[in-house]
Chain A
Amino acid sequence: MTAPLHEPTAEAAPSAAEEASVATSGAKAVQGRSLGRIAWERLKRDKLALTGGIVVLLLVVVALLAPVITSLLGQDPNEYHENLIDPLFGTPTGSLGGVSGDHLLGVEPVNGRDILARVLYGARISLLVGFLSAVVAVILGTVLGILAGFFGGWVDSLISRVMDGLLAFPQLLFIIALVSVMPNDMLGLTGSNVRVFVMILVIGFFGWPYIGRVVRGQTLSLREREYVEAARSLGAGRLYILFKELLPNLVAPIVVYTTMMIPTNILTEAALSFLGVGVKPPTASWGQMLSSAIDYYESDPMYMVVPGVAIFITVLAFNLFGDGIRDALDPKASR
């Protein structure tokens, strides 16, 4: 890449978004609508996806404001309320797992911690791990996928084999083994933060091949397209083509896969916490709540229902939203 090339190519090749809009809107509507705008209009018509999107947004807001909401309710996720527990059975007194004006979703068996406060704090962990591990996966997957697709040859073979290897790797077992040898303090982090950090890295690391494969495939087909050829014939450098010509056209599949990956990651986090290798007590997490609820599924079913429903709603909302985005960005894909 050299400086003089900059201007001519910028003129010669239309912006990626325009190119895409021409491609998708076809011959009859030739007004200059951007891809984002078209997608947004499609998404607006998809009520289900929109609902999903709103729920996701709500969840994010609730998670961010968890300390504010709980303090407004006068609750603390780690405060014990043993006076609400029947000492004979260890389950909450009162109906529906101790639902009351103070404890809107009841309290935990044995220690009487407020379930609503814990579910709200649990959302922070779930979403944090879900989002950040998806970011790790997307960055790794995009960079490596695009390199594999663009350069081909031995680079492609190497990256593709690595992806195959990772996909075949028993991810869950690996994380369990890794967590048990993890020190308590690491990089200035302690306790639960270490676990969260490790979970984000590991889930992200094992998630990138999924996105990497898609990006590689897309790159393979895009690199033979006319506009890329044109840029190349005008003397554009490799990196320029990679990041200015190809990447913008990969945004759609990347966005779609990211929204689909987040719920999977949330489930993985829940599974890890369920198995006892997620966050450490007393930090609240949905998976950990489910795991301790097992001993009370008959005597106090509410304890299992609440975090279960929280996971269910979150994953469903993300999936609906992700489906909607996919349909909006890529109408050619068959359902």
Chain B
Amino acid sequence: MTTQRTSGRRKQALAAAVAVAALLTTAACGGGGDDDKGSSSGAAGFDAANNKVAQASAAKKGGTLKFGAAQDADSWDTTRGYYGMMWNFARYYSRQLVTNKAEPGAAGAEITPDLATATAKVTDDGKTYTYTLRDGVTWEDGKPITSKDVKYGIERVWAQDVLSGGPTYLKDVLDPKGEYKGPYKDTSADKLGLKAIDTPDDKTIVFHLPQANSDFEEMLALVSASPVRQDMDTKAKYGLKPFSSGPYKFASYSPGKDLKLVRNTSWKQASDPLRKAYPDEITIKFFSDANQLDQRLLNGDLDLDLNQTGMSPQGRTTALKQHKANLDNPVSGYVRYAVFPQSVKPFDNVECRKAVILGADHVSLQTARGGPVAGGDIGTNMLPPSVPGAEGQKYDPYKLAGDNKNGNVADAKAALKACGQPNGFKTTIAVRNNKPVEVATAQSLQASLKKIGITAEIDQYDGSQTAGIIGSPSNVKTKGYGIIIMGWGPDFPSVQGFGLPLWNSKYIAQSGNNNYALINDKTIDGLFSSYVTTLDDAGKTKIATEINHKVMEGAYYLPFVFERFINWRSDNLANVYTTDGYSGQYDFVNLGLKNPKK
């Protein structure tokens, strides 16, 4: 009877979705009946926009670019957003001194000047960064953007009590001792009391770093370094209507429902070397059900998924079977893995950790993640392929994609013996309950560990409480979480932007901890310290590789996959390309439409 009721409800929901879809389609077409004037499909082909530009010349000015999403941004406030898709989208309405290049693939992760005339003039052994602002850069009311606006925008990162959520790299690097209290508690008249930033005139901004950090410019390229004008700062409410410095401005926003951007008429193309600003309007429609969103994408009502995390299994199957030309299969920059907290016995012993790594069936884990296409290639180490210094599957110390890909029971048992647990042991796998794919990987791991005598219990915890449950080392120890299933992507493509919070002993926190393995290794800490003072790219790459090797030798992690996902682009989308700058997402800022009237 439950079945009957359930399927009945689902049918109703489907019927409702179809009805709504039909209504909205008619509304969007405005009764024009203008079906495809161009080609019947026009899609660029499978993987045509993966690391290369698809149909650049087909992009026309005008029209409405329609995003759909199952998940709203954490905040649209440039200081507070931490989702990759938010950083990507924020470039529509915000500009930074420097930003990622608007180019496909690896080039998209390189830094290019935006508000500044050139990348930083670095002096004083990497401790002073100087920028000059471009002429003609303006706010949405036509007033010029000054260096003081940039400084104020960056100062907002210090106000974590009001504006929590965003990355705090700038604060950690510019003010490691936490002396500045943030603009809202600033006693100076102009609220620009942060000593580490100088604004000698309206066009010049100088950063003084207490210690050099070779990734500092990467941090300035994050949207949290966007300018904010003091008189327009609505503090905690700023995310509802940020004041635009980019080609588009907020027209309306109802959280969880919809968002609409319209052209910012004060923005001048000549002042912006990067943004093409093809469409007239940009809309986002939020859905509570991912299946419904996929259906709308497949119908062609929407152009792309804002979240850029791949389609749900249902829509993915239909898309792969019937609309393969509309799909790209980029690498996301995420590594999906299991991590072993050393506080939980017997994972304090490296041999027991190795036993789990060797005993796991890596093909099975890959299938659980979605297979080679929707899941990704088998992960063999912890550095995502998009990070400089990564070696991809070439570095495979445990032969996870080679001889041991289906699990090596003999070696795993030998490791168990060396660990002093020849008959195996009992442990608990902690997994987020809101990620079916992660639960599936937990079950796969459970099944293969059983073969080497390790009995694993699966504990599905509330996925929205991650910071307090697995982010609390004391809770992890009490609950006996010997294995935690997680994933991680770089904030910016460097070993620091990816691995610092995961592997550095300084980042072990009592709440919101990300160093789940509780790695406290002098060598790794030392490598990170020398990384930040190494200014040449070759040196940085070498250290990144070394850190990755150290982490793998410690057997703290069992990598599952170097994640890939299936990404949808509509027939009408032009100038589409994925970029490593935003973890394999499409670069939103330069998307155009082939047929603006559609």
Binding site for B on A (CB under 8 A): 78-80, 82, 85, 87-91, 109-111, 180, 184, 190-191, 263, 267, 270-271, 274, 276, 280-282, 287, 290, 292, 294-299, 304, 307-309, 311-312, 315-316
Q: Is the beta-carbon distance between A90 and B460 smaller than 8 angstroms?
A: no
Q: Is the beta-carbon distance between A85 and B367 smaller than 8 angstroms?
A: yes
Q: Is the beta-carbon distance between B457 and A280 smaller than 8 angstroms?
A: yes
Q: Is the beta-carbon distance between A88 and B320 smaller than 8 angstroms?
A: yes
Q: Which of B6, B318, B364 is in CB contact (< 8 Å) with A290? A: B6
Knowing A276-B460, A315-B1, say if A87 contacts B367 (CB, 8 Å).
Answer: yes
Contact with A along B105-132 (1 / 0, CB 8 A): 0000000000000000000000000000
CB contacts under 8 Å to A, within B427-447, are 428, 433, 436, 439-440, 442-444, 446-447
Q: Is the beta-carbon distance between A282 and B314 smaller than 8 angstroms?
A: no
Q: Is the beta-carbon distance between A88 and B367 smaller than 8 angstroms?
A: no
Q: Is the beta-carbon distance between A297 and B3 smaller than 8 angstroms?
A: no
Chain B neighbourhood of A270, CB < 8 A: 2
Cβ of B63 within 8 Å of any chain A Cβ, yes or no, is: no
Knowing A85-B367, A180-B462, say if A267 contacts B2 (CB, 8 Å).
Answer: yes
Closest chain-B Cβ to A304's Cβ sits at a distance in Å of 7
With contacts A276-B460, A290-B2 known, what are 12 further pairs, Cβ within 8 A?
A78-B450, A88-B373, A110-B440, A111-B364, A184-B428, A191-B457, A267-B1, A282-B446, A296-B314, A297-B10, A308-B2, A311-B1
Cβ of B543 within 8 Å of any chain A Cβ, yes or no, is: no
Q: Is the beta-carbon distance between A295 and B314 smaller than 8 angstroms?
A: yes
Closest chain-A Cβ to B567's Cβ sits at a distance in Å of 16
Alpha-carbon separation in the docked complex, A270 to B442 (Å) = 22
Cβ of B372 within 8 Å of any chain A Cβ, yes or no, is: yes
Closest chain-A Cβ to B483's Cβ sits at a distance in Å of 14
Chain B neighbourhood of A276, CB < 8 A: 433, 460
Chain A neighbourhood of B372, CB < 8 A: 87
Could you list 7 A-B pairs, sorted by A, with CB under 8 Å? A78-B450, A89-B317, A110-B440, A111-B367, A292-B436, A299-B317, A308-B4
Alpha-carbon separation in the docked complex, A294 to B7 (Å) = 9
10 nearest CB pairs, A to B? A308-B3, A87-B371, A299-B317, A295-B313, A89-B317, A270-B2, A315-B1, A281-B443, A191-B457, A82-B367
Closest chain-A Cβ to B265's Cβ sits at a distance in Å of 45
Q: Is the beta-carbon distance between A111 and B440 smaller than 8 angstroms?
A: yes
Q: Is the beta-carbon distance between A287 and B2 smaller than 8 angstroms?
A: yes
Q: Which of A281, A295, A311 is in CB contact (< 8 Å) with B442? A: A281
Chain A neighbourhood of B4, CB < 8 A: 308, 312
Closest to B429 in A: A281
Closest chain-A Cβ to B389's Cβ sits at a distance in Å of 30
Q: Is the beta-carbon distance between A80 and B371 smaller than 8 angstroms?
A: no
Alpha-carbon separation in the docked complex, A304 to B479 (Å) = 34
Q: Is the beta-carbon distance between B428 and A82 smaller than 8 angstroms?
A: no
Cβ of B374 within 8 Å of any chain A Cβ, yes or no, is: yes
Q: Is the beta-carbon distance between B314 and A111 smaller than 8 angstroms?
A: no
Binding site for A on B (CB under 8 A): 1-4, 6-7, 10, 312-314, 316-318, 320-321, 361, 363-364, 367-368, 370-374, 428, 433, 436, 439-440, 442-444, 446-447, 450, 457-460, 462, 479-480
Closest chain-A Cβ to B427's Cβ sits at a distance in Å of 11
Q: Is the beta-carbon distance between B446 and A281 smaller than 8 angstroms?
A: yes
Chain B neighbourhood of A180, CB < 8 A: 462
Alpha-carbon separation in the docked complex, A194 to B518 (Å) = 31
Knowing A110-B368, A311-B1, say if A298 contacts B314 (CB, 8 Å).
Answer: yes
Q: Which of B363, B374, B439, B462 is in CB contact (< 8 Å) with A281? A: B439
Alpha-carbon separation in the docked complex, A80 to B428 (Å) = 20
Closest to B1 in A: A315
Q: Is the beta-carbon distance between B313 and A90 smaller than 8 angstroms?
A: yes
Closest to B316 in A: A89
Q: Is the beta-carbon distance between B320 and A89 smaller than 8 angstroms?
A: yes
Chain B neighbourhood of A299, CB < 8 A: 313-314, 317-318
Alpha-carbon separation in the docked complex, A85 to B371 (Å) = 10
Q: Is the beta-carbon distance between B458 and A281 smaller than 8 angstroms?
A: yes
Knowing A90-B371, A90-B374, A281-B442, say if A311 contacts B313 (CB, 8 Å).
Answer: no
Closest chain-B Cβ to A258's Cβ sits at a distance in Å of 18
Alpha-carbon separation in the docked complex, A56 to B372 (Å) = 45
Closest chain-B Cβ to A316's Cβ sits at a distance in Å of 8
Q: Which of A78, A296, A311 is in CB contact (< 8 Å) with B447? A: A78
Alpha-carbon separation in the docked complex, A271 to B367 (Å) = 28
Chain B neighbourhood of A87, CB < 8 A: 367, 371-373
Q: Is the beta-carbon distance between A290 and B320 smaller than 8 angstroms?
A: no
* Max count, chain B CB within 10 A of own CB: residue among A89, A90, A274, A290: A90
Closest to B317 in A: A299
Q: Is the beta-carbon distance between A110 and B367 smaller than 8 angstroms?
A: yes
Chain B neighbourhood of A281, CB < 8 A: 439, 442-443, 446, 458
Closest chain-A Cβ to B55's Cβ sits at a distance in Å of 26
Chain A neighbourhood of B433, CB < 8 A: 276
Chain A neighbourhood of B367, CB < 8 A: 82, 85, 87, 90, 110-111
Alpha-carbon separation in the docked complex, A292 to B372 (Å) = 21
Knowing A111-B443, A298-B317, say if A309 contacts B3 (CB, 8 Å).
Answer: yes
* Max count, chain B CB within 10 A of own CB: residue among A111, A276, A287, A295: A295
Q: Is the beta-carbon distance between B7 and A111 smaller than 8 angstroms?
A: no
Q: Is the beta-carbon distance between A80 and B3 smaller than 8 angstroms?
A: no
Q: Is the beta-carbon distance between B312 and A304 smaller than 8 angstroms?
A: no
* Max count, chain A CB within 10 A of own CB: residue among B312, B368, B371: B371
Closest chain-A Cβ to B266's Cβ sits at a distance in Å of 46
Chain A neighbourhood of B450, CB < 8 A: 78
Alpha-carbon separation in the docked complex, A110 to B367 (Å) = 6
Closest chain-A Cβ to B206's Cβ sits at a distance in Å of 53
